[in-house]
Structure 1
Amino acid sequence: MPRSVTANQELREKSRERILSSALEVFAEKGYEAASISDVTERAGVSRGLVTYYFTSKERLAAELLDRWLDGIAAILDLPGTADERLAGIIDGALMAAATTLPVQRLAISLMMQPATHPVFAQVEADKTVRLSQVEDAIRAIFAERGAADPAVEEMLLRATLEGVTVKMTIYPGTFPVESIRRRLHRGYNLPDPATPLPISSPPVTRLRAE
């Protein structure tokens, strides 16, 4: 019996997701430049033709992964509560995302910074400009509610801080004291101390060393 349209669609979506998951694994292990489409097809267990059907190039695979990464950032638009509660949610959400999705974070940072792949990131960012502007405006509105003199500067400083923390976490995942940094950020913004720690590994404050 022929498969239904719905069943075919589900199979296609599963294949596409398997390819993306495999691409992320390969890029994380080998680095974007060293990885090849053949590596991705082998990891995914699919034909090269199927990969190129969904993604015409390695750049398109990277662009899709970056697109999803940016969508994850945009999730802050759905945070409820007071300005202080939303700010605390942004801090905690960014730290959780960094700690639980390190391969994606490493890939995003790599593609943003390398001259050969920065245009890929720039194009994805341009395609998401409306959504990203909404994120920026949402953060600026939080700081405006809190009485900041320059909400735009505060938004940029917060994002730079959290992105810097993410970079350090990708380099030093085994020695970065996430919880201590989290509580310091809360105090720096005059937020109440978190009632419970984040459900992620967090070593004590010592020194940042690669493992």
Structure 2
Amino acid sequence: MPRSPSVNQELRERSRERILAAALDVFAAKGYEAASISEITTAAGVSRGLVSYYFATKEQLAAELLDRWLDGVAGILTIQGTPDERLAGIIDGTLLAAAGTLPIQRLAISLMMQPGTHDVFARVEDAKSERLSLVEDAIRDVFAARGAADPAVEEMLLRATLEGVTVKLAIYRETFPLEAIRHRLYAGYSLPAPATPLPFTSPPADRLRAK
């Protein structure tokens, strides 16, 4: 009995997601430059032809993963509440994403920073420019509502700070005091201390060392 169009579509989506998951694992383990389509094919357990059907190049795989990462960044547009509640939500949402999706965070960081792959990131970012502008404006609106003299500078500083936290967490996952940093960020913006901890193990502040 032939499969229905809906079943075929579901199978195609599963295959595509399996390929993307395998690509992320291989990129995280070997780095974008060193990873090969053959390794991704093997990790996904599919044929080379199926990978090529969905993604003609390794860059297209990375671009799709980055596209999803940027969509995650845009999740702050859904945060509601007072300006203080929204700012706390932005901080917590970013820290949760950093701690909960480290492989894709590492990929994004490496593509942003490596000269050989920066253009990949730049092209995806440009394609998402309109939505990213909405994110920037949403953060600026929060700071404007809190009475900031220059909301644009405050938005850039907050994003730079949170991106720096993400980089350090990606490098020093076992020793990074995420909860202590979170409390310090709250205090720096005169926000009430968070009522509950983030759902991740967080060591006390000592020394950042890779393990």
TM-score when normalising by structure 2: 0.99
Cα distance in 2, alignment partners of residues 101 and 203 from structure 1: 19
Task: Flag as ranges the 4+ runs of structure 1 deviating above 6 A.
Answer: none
Aligned positions of 1:42-121 closer than 5 A: 42-121=42-121
Shift of 1:178: 0.2
TM-score when normalising by structure 1: 0.99
Cα distance in 1, alignment partners of residues 130 and 120 from structure 2: 18
Kindly indicate whether residue 41 of structure 2 is the aligned counterpart of residue 10 of structure 1: no
Shift of 1:189: 0.2
Instruction: Output one character per residue of 1:101-148: Cα deviation in whole Å (capped at 9) or x when no partner.
Output: 111111100011111111100000000000000000000000000000
Aligned identity (percent) is: 75
Kindly indicate whether residue 149 of structure 2 is the aligned counterpart of residue 149 of structure 1: yes
Cα distance in 1, alignment partners of residues 116 and 110 from structure 2: 10
> RMSD over aligned Cα, in angstroms?
0.4
> Which SS does the other structure have where 2:174 is aligned?
coil
What runs of 5+ residues in structure 2 fail to find an aligned partner?
Answer: none
Counterpart residue type for residue 76 of structure 2: I
> Which SS does the other structure have where 1:210 is aligned?
coil
Cα distance in 2, alignment partners of residues 30 and 129 from structure 1: 29
Shift of 1:186: 0.2
Cα distance in 1, alignment partners of residues 133 and 195 from structure 2: 32
Q: Which residue of 2 aligns with 1:185?
A: 185
Shift of 1:45: 0.4
Cα distance in 2, alignment partners of residues 120 and 31 from structure 1: 14
Shift of 1:31: 0.9
> Which SS does the other structure have where 2:46 is aligned?
coil
What runs of 5+ residues in structure 1 fail to find an aligned partner?
Answer: none
Cα distance in 2, alignment partners of residues 112 and 155 from structure 1: 19
Cα distance in 1, alignment partners of residues 201 and 96 from structure 2: 10
Q: Which residue of 1 aligns with 2:125?
A: 125
Cα distance in 2, alignment partners of residues 145 and 61 from structure 1: 40
> Which SS does the other structure have where 1:176 is aligned?
coil
> Which SS does the other structure have where 1:63 is aligned?
helix
Shift of 1:57: 0.2
Shift of 1:150: 0.3
Cα distance in 1, alignment partners of residues 188 and 23 from structure 2: 39
Q: Give the length in aligned residue pairs.
A: 211
Counterpart residue type for residue 48 of structure 1: R
Cα distance in 2, alignment partners of residues 70 and 54 from structure 1: 20
Counterpart residue type for residue 112 of structure 2: M
